[in-house]
Structure 1
Amino acid sequence: MAGLPVRRAETMVPTLAGRIQTRLVLLAVVGSLVTAIVTPLLPSGVGYRDTFGVLLAVAVLGVGWELVYHLLMQFRWEKDWPLLFGLGTGVPEAALIWLLLDHHALPGLAGPPPLGAFLLHFSAVWLAVWLVANGPMRVPFLRWRFFGGRFG
């Protein structure tokens, strides 16, 4: 096929920009869907304002987390985490969100929901986002991983 331009893959390791884009897109799409489904199952008194407020906090603070993860990955040979580590990163993120909720440090939220409700919602969203990122998302976005996790 002489004469046809060849576009080389940039990287198979997600870049910082790619990880941030992926996080925000998946939280907006998958996270919103899971939040809409889970919220009615939570105890009374926990409404959509609370759960979507937590989801927004996870998205905003997640950009900061990505900067921390990027710094830590510079010490790894592959510059990437093992697959299950991505799932485990939800633990410190959940702890930070809960701490901020408990100290009334998240604007727009009156205070923390019951711990069980928070853990159910956060865990459901985190697991769904992680599963979609590591499975079904690779079908419609075939070139996603070749562009460092960016969508464009």
Structure 2
Amino acid sequence: MLLTLSGRLQTRIAVLAVIGGLVTLAVTPLVTASYTAAYCILAAVIVIGLGWELVYHLLQQFRWEKDWPTLFALLNGINEGVLLWFLIDAGLIPNTTGVTAAPFSILFAAVWLSTWLWNNGPMRVPLVHWRFRGGRLI
């Protein structure tokens, strides 16, 4: 089963909003960040991630299977995290002034790892049709 571009976009938005939102709710007090900054970062991850999905889709067209190995999908978080940190550091993400590298790294890593684990594990059980519809939720 290969996810279509539409399915990957829908899945990214839904999983980051639900699973990422819950993880952000739990992790934010532990890293002593404000909820406003944390959810602005999560929103930026969703928006910037949609652009990354287009880049990933283009790059996948050069692969024989037209898909990434699972480890590549996990490691793509490094690219996205670094870009997002540069945008935060440059002041381009609203309500994130004063966010330092350590809380950002912990929050981003927790959200990225939890959503990756959800996509590659438990999501496949209750949403069986998701797998056979190319990842589309709608």
In which range does the TM-score fall when normalised by the shorter chain? Answer: over 0.9
Give the alignment of 1:25-36 within 5 angstroms: 25-36=14-25
SS in 2 for 1:132: helix
Query: Which position in structure 2 is the counterpart of 1:130?
Result: 116
CA-atom RMSD in angstroms: 0.9
Runs (4 or more) in structure 1 with deviation over 6 Å come to: none
The answer to whether the Cα contact below 8 Å between 2:40 and 2:96 also exists between their aligned partners in 1 is: no
How many residues are matched?
A: 138
Identity %: 53
- Deviations, residues 18-63 of structure 1 (Å, cap 9, x unaligned): 00000000001000000000000013xx200011000000000111
Q: Displacement of 1:110 after TM fit?
A: 4.2
Which ranges of structure 2 fall in alignment gaps of 5 or more residues?
none
The answer to whether the Cα contact below 8 Å between 1:101 and 1:112 also exists between their aligned partners in 2 is: no
Query: Which position in structure 2 is the counterpart of 1:6?
Result: none
TM-score of the aligned structures, taking structure 2 as reference length: 0.97
Which ranges of structure 1 fall in alignment gaps of 5 or more residues?
1-11
Query: Which position in structure 2 is the counterpart of 1:66?
Result: 53
1:75 correspondence with 2:62: yes
Query: Which position in structure 2 is the counterpart of 1:87?
Result: 74
The answer to whether the Cα contact below 8 Å between 1:104 and 1:112 also exists between their aligned partners in 2 is: no
Give the alignment of 1:21-60 within 5 angstroms: 21-43=10-32, 46-60=33-47
Structure with more helix by fraction? 2
Which residue type is aligned with residue 73 of structure 2? Answer: G
Q: Displacement of 1:111 after TM fit?
A: 2.2
The answer to whether the Cα contact below 8 Å between 1:94 and 1:122 also exists between their aligned partners in 2 is: yes
Question: Aligned partners of 2:50 and 2:71: how far apart in 1?
Answer: 20
- Deviations, residues 86-126 of structure 1 (Å, cap 9, x unaligned): 100000100010000000011x2242511110000000000
